[in-house]
């Protein structure tokens, strides 16, 4: 068995969604003074590699704690879009992999954008799904999709159309993944279990690929 970590590290200097405060991490206790070490951590629920619940943007939709634990683990497929020309991921690029995608629980979109993590260009011009592609994916019965970019919608959006389409299908969205190039195209397990936060609209995750 091989485990591949797909998560970005959380730190005070990490990139965050424009307009969001970065994490604050302080050493609350130390082994020297109190006999044990603990950190006090303050951060937004959509920090770093994280999962979006439908309740993130849809009033009355499922929160993460309302979904069964099984919703966060399943068979996954990766579509390599690193050679994509232009900023839109169309249905045509995905439909050629329909059998692989439809036989999976999660689809991971590898755009190569994680190479820009920590750089200014990470927040602009990253490829996102076209509306048609999002609607097509929403009809396949997937548990969720994951991307190696900051969002499934452009950062300058005002209505977040792709989030809305995917959430309407009760799908979760995992953003800020990394190391997707280390994965096979299919035949592995993906785990994106969130913290068990009450009424959670989102949560940082330690996203993992499990290759048996």
The predicted-structure confidence for 158-171, as pLDDT tens digits, reads as follows: 999 999 999 999 99
Mean pLDDT over the full length of the chain: 97
| Three-state secondary structure of the chain | CEEEECECCCCCCCCCCCCCCCCEEEEEECHHHHCCCEEEEECCCCCCCEEECHHHCCCCCCCHHHCCHHHHEEEEEEEECCCCCCCEECHHHHHCCHHHHHCCCEEEEECCHHHHCCCHHHHCCCCEECHHHHHHHHCCCCCEEEECCCCCCCCCCCCCHHHHHHHHCCCEEEECECCHHHCCCCCEEEECCECCCCCCCEEEECCEEEEC
CATH 3.50.30.50 fits 2-9+45-211, yes or no: yes
Q: Which residues contact 170 (CB under 8 A, 6 or more apart)?
A: 54, 61, 62
CA neighbor of 152 nearest in space, from 186, 176, 169, 168: 176
Are the C-beta atoms of 148 and 114 separated by less than 8 Å?
Answer: yes
Q: What is the pLDDT of residue 185?
A: 97
Judge whether 97 counts as a catalytic residue. no
**pLDDT tens per residue, range 102-151:** 999 999 999 999 999 999 899 999 999 999 999 999 999 999 999 999 99
Does the pLDDT value for residue 83 go beyond 90?
A: no
Does the pLDDT value for residue 85 go beyond 70?
A: no
**pLDDT tens per residue, range 30-64:** 999 999 999 999 999 999 999 999 999 999 999 99
Q: How confident is the model at residue 194 (pLDDT cuts 50, 70, 90)?
A: very high
Given the residues 56, 71, 97, 163, the one annotated as active site = 56
């Amino acid at each position: 068995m091989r485990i591949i970590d797909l998560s970005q590290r959380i730190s005070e200097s990490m990139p965050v969604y424009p307009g969001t405060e970065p994490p604050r991490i302080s050493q609350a206790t130390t082994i020297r003074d109190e006999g044990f070490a603990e950190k006090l951590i303050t951060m937004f629920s959509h920090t770093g590699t994280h999962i979006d619940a439908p309740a993130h943007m849809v009033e009355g939709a499922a929160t993460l704690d309302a979904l069964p634990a099984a919703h966060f683990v399943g068979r996954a497929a990766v579509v390599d879009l690193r050679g994509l020309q232009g900023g839109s991921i169309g249905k045509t690029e995905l439909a050629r992999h329909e059998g692989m995608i439809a036989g999976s629980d999660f689809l991971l979109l590898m755009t190569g954008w994680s190479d820009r993590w920590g750089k200014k260009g990470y927040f602009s011009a990253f490829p996102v799904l076209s509306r048609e592609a999002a609607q097509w994916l929403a009809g396949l019965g997937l548990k969720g999709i994951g991307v190696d970019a900051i969002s499934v919608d452009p950062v300058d959006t005002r209505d977040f159309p792709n989030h809305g389409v995917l959430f309407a299908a009760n799908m979760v969205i995992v953003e800020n993944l990394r190391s997707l190039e280390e994965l096979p195209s299919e035949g592995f397990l993906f785990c994106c279990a969130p913290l068990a936060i009450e009424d959670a609209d989102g949560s940082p995750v330690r996203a993992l690929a499990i290759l048996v």
